Amino acid sequence: MLKAVVGHSNDPDSLPAITEVLEQCEQALAGTEPQAGVLFAAIDFDHALILQEIHQKYPEIQLIGGTTDGEISSVLGFEQDSLTLILFSADKITFRTGIGVGISQDLPKAIATALEQATLGHQESIELCLTVPDSLTTSGVLVLESLNKALEQTFGKKVAVFGGMTADQWEFQQNYQFCGTKVYSDAIPILLISGEILFAHGIASGWYPIGKKGVVTKADLNVVYEIDHKPALDFYHYYLDGLAPSQEYPLAVFDTEDVDYYIRASSGTYDVQTGSITFFGDVPEGAIVQITETTQDRILAASKASMEQALAKYPGKEPVAALYFSCASRKQILGSRTKEEYTLTQTCLTNSLPSCGFYTNGEISPLPQQTNSCYHNETFITLLLGES
């Protein structure tokens, strides 16, 4: 039987925080041994110490995690500067971690290494992949493309990937990834899950295009140089009255003259000299773009919709746990109403559900009706987990 427990502490000191988290988990586990865990930690903690403490308690644990821009759990709801850990124990489900480093240098190699490690020890076919890659050293789209390809090559089928890119509280300087007892950056930790796992997910954003459309006339992967043959920065400056582009005002990207669009947020990096803007995901040349905008109510309505979607699709009787990946921009706009995101998802549930999540610099999940995972911005992703 799959069991999930959650610990969450808002103590800013690393040792008391992890001690509190582990106490909560231990109590909820009631004697069962956890096989795997996912850790979300604010940037200011002593992460190495925390990982050590966890392993001291559970030496065999398969653990991944990373730094965040806010944490969510069924214990404290939404918190900032906190530490939250979800632990899984199951007898018919296998969890294995892997880590790939230097994703900005050799992404395929990093992913191959991580997969090799995480594949060991599985008896049954891989059902699910969780990951929390670095958000600042390479393009999220590239990471997902490579990972999807590698997964398909290794396992001969598409594997659903979920997760979020690690964050650093809107500083966009340095973020960290965890695997086992080690703290990394420029890395991709993955957790492969096989066996009798059941899952379903929901995804929704709440951002809508506004203003004039432009055509991307010069771009290289996730760096946009020109829109309508003018510096990309001009496009933003025009609407933001000279203010710099930021994640809360992402671009809607229309592939063709379609009504459907996906969203690309600026990473906060831009170049005044060339007028280029760096995005968290790739924006193809020729794409039609438009600035998007939202309101707090629209964001919150989307969070709820995400949970409703996931519940409606859940194949089993009742989910055992939930993971949330919410975009840091949502928090940026919601301000003190950020806590309502979690509270609203709970209004869809009849029973309490152990859950854990974080505010990320880029969400990862398939689109509602697909298995191929992609990289998203500005969304709220709900992943429900259970056992068949």
Binding residues (CB under 8 A) for other proteins: these are 10-13, 16, 80-81, 170, 210-212, 238-243, 246, 248-249, 291, 293, 332-333, 335
Looking at the Cβ atoms of 11 and 196, the one nearer to other proteins is 11
Cα separation, 299 vs 232, whole angstroms: 26
CB of 224 to other proteins, least distance (A): 18
Looking at the Cβ atoms of 333 and 385, the one nearer to other proteins is 333
Provide the 3-class DSSP secondary structure of residue 370.
Answer: coil
Looking at the Cβ atoms of 10 and 32, the one nearer to other proteins is 10
CA 55 to chain CA centroid, nearest Å: 24
CB of 81 to other proteins, least distance (A): 5
CB of 45 to other proteins, least distance (A): 11
258 burial type by CB count under 10 A (0-12 exposed, 13-18 middle, 19+ buried): exposed
Looking at the Cβ atoms of 16 and 284, the one nearer to other proteins is 16
Cα separation, 217 vs 224, whole angstroms: 9
Do 185 and 110 meet the contact criterion of CB atoms below 8 Å apart? no
Cα separation, 97 vs 121, whole angstroms: 10
CB of 185 to other proteins, least distance (A): 22
CB of 46 to other proteins, least distance (A): 14
Query: What b-and-e string marks burial along 157-184, b requiring 16 or more CB atoms within 10 Å of the CB?
Result: eebbbbbbbbbbbbebeebbbbbbbebb
Dihedral of the CA atoms 283, 287, 293, 299 (nearest 10)? -60
Looking at the Cβ atoms of 11 and 271, the one nearer to other proteins is 11
CB of 100 to other proteins, least distance (A): 32
CB of 328 to other proteins, least distance (A): 10
Looking at the Cβ atoms of 61 and 75, the one nearer to other proteins is 75
Do 143 and 60 meet the contact criterion of CB atoms below 8 Å apart? no
- Pick from 155, 150, 163: nearest CA to 199: 163
Looking at the Cβ atoms of 170 and 314, the one nearer to other proteins is 170
Looking at the Cβ atoms of 149 and 230, the one nearer to other proteins is 230
CB of 345 to other proteins, least distance (A): 23
What DSSP line would sit under 176-230, residue for residue? -EEETTEEESSEEEEEEEEESEEEEEEEE---EE-S--EEEEEEETTEEEEETTE
CB of 239 to other proteins, least distance (A): 5
Cα separation, 328 vs 14, whole angstroms: 23
H-run or E-run covering 26: helix 14-29
Distances (CA, A) of 99 to 131, 133, 165, 176: 10, 10, 14, 12
Looking at the Cβ atoms of 139 and 246, the one nearer to other proteins is 246
